[in-house]
Amino acid sequence: MSIIVAATKNKHKIREIEQITREFGMDIITRDEAGIPNDIEIEEDGTTFEENSYKKAYGIMKLCGQITIADDSGIEVDCLGKAPGVYSARYAGVDGDDADRANNDKLMEDIRNFPYEECTGRFVSVITMVFPDGETISARGEVEGHVIPEERGPNGFGYDPMFIPLGYDITFGEFDPEEKNKISHRANALVELRRLLQERAAR
């Protein structure tokens, strides 16, 4: 079994990704288990999800010398020029426990005067795996929909209560979590990751 170090500290993301990597003999361990000091943070100053995902994976790989996997994700709103985009987690300039509340309030205010049909957008997830020999695998997943200037539903996190995926009339915040995970941007990125790992295993 190969060991992969997760650059993220989010245990939910780690569990989702590990369901795929285990199929290919890859067991994920946390940064803590890899001996990465908790205070080390990789600066996410890239202009794309791909750049930030790679920076996180590469930065942690250089510290531990093992295969490392990272995820970068966010929401793009077309009427705002695809903002917040890579700044989704810090859209309102707030860190910590209050970030989600501040980010959602800012996004609701920014789209309030746009008609529904112009508030198209998408959630994006990019998962990058970096190997010590320099090999890189990058998998992108998206889910299209509309963003609304209100919150509906108690489930999910972040912008979920403001996002209605195409073909539905409820937000991710109103979805059963298991159903959301079947169609989410991260689910689609994981499908692509599986395809790329299958391709790699066949070489």
Catalytic, out of 71, 72, 97, 110: 72
Query: What CA–CA distance (Å, rounded) separates 129 from 168?
Result: 32
Note if 39 is an active site residue. no
Please report, for residues 105, 145, 155, 184, the alpha-carbon distance to residue 171 in angstroms, rounded to integers and kept in the order given: 16, 10, 9, 12
- What's the rounded Cα separation, in Å, for the pair 142 and 123? 6
Residue 82 phi, psi dihedral angles, 5° rounding? 70, 15
Distance CA 150, CA 43 (A): 31
- Tokens standing for residue 91: 């859209």
Measured CA to CA, the distance from residue 153 to residue 133 in angstroms comes to 45
Query: Would you please indicate which residues are annotated as catalytic (active-site) residues?
Result: 72
